Structure 1
Amino acid sequence: MNQYLQHFLYPSTLFASKEPYVVKTILGSCVAICLWDPVTKIGGINHYMLPTWNGNDLASPKYGNIAFEKLLERMIALGCRRDKLQAKIFGGGDLIAADRSAMLIGERNIRVARILLEEKNISVVASSTGGRKGRKILFFTDTGEVRHKFIDKREN
């Protein structure tokens, strides 16, 4: 990993680069969509918290539909072709199992990712979603590789 520039991806943000980066992020019920173009070797990733923007507030990448569109725009601006893109989906865990009033945000975030990718005919080549644990992921923008590990919620 020494030759890679590093970037930590915070919730409600996205990142894409022509330069080789390793992008790190931590996911609970949030979802990250990693897009990679095997022709240009350009990768990008988003990290969203809620499934869809309802028209109120700011149309920010906090919402899956906005985060996906903005990431797709950024990838195309960097020279990627939509018909070459591959996707990987991570996150959407149900970490608050006892509280069903959370309206299954993780599941809804996963569903939105799959619907948006299907609408744009972008194939999902890998995913690790759902479950009861969080995830730490490392995304390599130049190869499309994603390394991930499960993390337990720490009780303090």
Structure 2
Amino acid sequence: MEIIATHYLYPSAIFASQQPHEVSTVLGSCVSICLWDTHVKFGGINHFMLPLWNGDGLPTPKFGNIALEKLLEKMLFLGCNQKKLVAKVFGGAKQLEKGKSVFNIGERNIQLAFDMLKEAGIPVVSHHVGGEKGRKIKFATHTGEVLLKLL
């Protein structure tokens, strides 16, 4: 049995590697985009908290538009071809306060992910988004498989 390196992905972070890893993260209103290159057979993942960086402060992967841009840059640097990438999108749960959705951050994160992937020409082959429950995901960077558990 092959031993796979593991990595826990914190919010506002990205991870990509040519070596096999099992990357896990926990999502509430945050969204993760898993990218996988169908040709070179490795992938990467981000975990963003808010949809758009507004220009104030540092452009960090805390923001969806920056998180996808930085993950894509890293994947291309490691030898991926953007035309061979596919995406899987997870998260974006409604964070409820006394039965009311707060700021629709989860919804806005989901919309941003799908819009940016479409703009980049990267097809979404799988997704599990929205709802009111958090998720724990495990992404196998060497197979593109994602295991999901509702919390």
CA–CA separation in structure 2 for the residues paired with 1:19 and 1:96: 39
**Residue of structure 2 equivalent to 1:124:** 124
1:1-156 alignment, distance < 5 Å: 3-96=3-96, 98=98, 100=100, 102-151=102-151
Q: Give the AA of the match of 2:78.
A: L
SS at match of 1:68: helix
CA–CA separation in structure 2 for the residues paired with 1:30 and 1:79: 28
Quote how far apart the aligned CAs of 1:95 are: 2.9
CA–CA separation in structure 1 for the residues paired with 2:117 and 2:50: 16
Quote how far apart the aligned CAs of 1:57 are: 1.3
Assess if the C-alpha contact under 8 Å between 1:97 and 1:132 holds in 2. no
Gaps of 5+ in 2: none
Gaps of 5+ in 1: 152-156
Assess if the C-alpha contact under 8 Å between 2:94 and 2:101 holds in 1. no
Structure 1 range deviating more: 91-100 or 122-131: 91-100
Quote how far apart the aligned CAs of 1:103 are: 1.1
Equivalences, count:
151
Cα deviation per residue 1:71-129 (whole Å; 9 max; x = unaligned)? 00000000000000000000000132536462110000000000000001100000000
> Sequence identity, in percent?
56
CA–CA separation in structure 1 for the residues paired with 2:148 and 2:50: 21
Assess if the C-alpha contact under 8 Å between 2:95 and 2:101 holds in 1. no
